[in-house]
Amino acid sequence: MLAHVHNTTLWYDDVGPADGTPLLCIHGFPHDHRLWEPQRDALSKHYRVITPDLRGFGASGTNGPYSMDQFADDLAALLTQLGIPRAVICGLSMGGYVALAFWRRHARHVRALIFADTKATADDDATRTKRQQLIQVAMHAGASAVADSQVTGMVGATTRADHPELVEHVRDMLAAAPVEGIVGALEAMMVRPDSTALLPTIGVPALCIVGDQDVISPVKDMRAMCAAIPHGELRVIDDAGHVSNVEQPDAFNEAVAQFVARL
């Protein structure tokens, strides 16, 4: 389905019972809504699962501006159009950065937060340099080259050894990202603020989920992030890397379902 929000169009999927607790799932970089297929299929039996493509990704419009705040504003407008006053906001990695911006700007629409394989800190200089290099790769060699450079870090060692088909699946998704979206999101992530001081203000239940083999958002960093959230609880998923929801969907879904059922 397509929604017109602000100056662009957002593609989104909306499945599950209309009166189920709404769960808005925000994909990471450079993903699209397909990241959440294992959650959409399982969790929509009980919950209303909304999986949009952020602007610049999937079938959404690619026009800017790009920022974590803009992504959050787009999603708040989408919820309003869908008649949803409050939702559980779930973001993985860059989606978690968007979830933090959503809390900063639209807290009244937040029933609870789920942060998966993400971080509250801003980029350091080394990360900004890597992002500049990736922008050059995207502009000169395209999304497929970006996918090749990113996919190994996206999944854990267990998935790489035992599930090459999942690695290929993730790579295909990364390779489909529009170059405008890749560049826009990289530039936006480089200037996103440090949200560490925001964490103690989170006054709703929060679940932090991380794969034990995540090398991009390691367990120790997510443990510290979660400890700074007043009602934060941490779930570490065994044998999973950065896309823990794809690598170990049953464990991820169980953690989410148990959390949402208690709200």
What binding mask, one character per residue, do residues 231-260 give for ligand MLT by CB under 6 A, x or -? -----------x------------------
Instruction: Lay out the site mask for ligand MLT across 188-227 (x = CB under 6 A, - = otherwise).
Output: -x--------------------------x-----------
Q: Which amino acid is at 53?
A: D
Q: Kindly give the pairing relationship between strand 2-5 and strand 8-15.
A: antiparallel
93 binds ligand MLT (CB under 6 A): yes
Least distance in Å: CB of 4 to ligand MLT?
25
* Paired residues of 138 in beta bridges: none
Minimum separation from the CB atom of position 134 to ligand MLT (A): 9
Rule CB under 6 A: is residue 99 a binding residue for ligand MLT? no
Binding mask 131-160 for ligand MLT (x = CB under 6 A): ------------------------------
28 binds ligand MLT per the rule CB under 6 A: yes
Tell me the residue number closest to ligand MLT, measured at CB: 28
Q: Quick one: how far is CA 223 from the chain centroid?
A: 18
Q: Chain-centre distance of CA 82, in angstroms?
A: 20
Q: Which two tokens stand for residue 207?
A: 């679940």
Nearer to ligand MLT, 88 or 98 (CB): 98
Residues touching ligand MLT, count (CB under 6 A): 7
Residue with tokens 């405008």: 180
Residue 199 DSSP one-character state: G
Tokens of 240: 């999973």
Closer residue to ligand MLT in complex, CB, 82/216? 216
Report the length, in residues, of the chain.
263
Query: Can you state the percent helix, strand and coil of the chain, rounding each to 5?
Result: 50, 20, 30
What amino acid occupies position 82? L
Name which of 48 and 242 has its Cβ closer to ligand MLT: 242
Q: Which position among 5, 23, 26, 29 is part of the footprint of ligand MLT (CB under 6 A)?
A: 29
Tokens 């998935």, residue located: 159
Element (H, E) at 236: strand 232-237
Toward ligand MLT, which CB reaches closer, 189 or 210?
A: 189
Residue 94 interacts with ligand MLT (CB under 6 A)? yes
Burial of 170 (0-12, 13-18, 19+ CB in 10 A): buried
Query: Given the rule CB under 6 A, which residues bind ligand MLT?
Result: 28-29, 93-94, 189, 216, 242
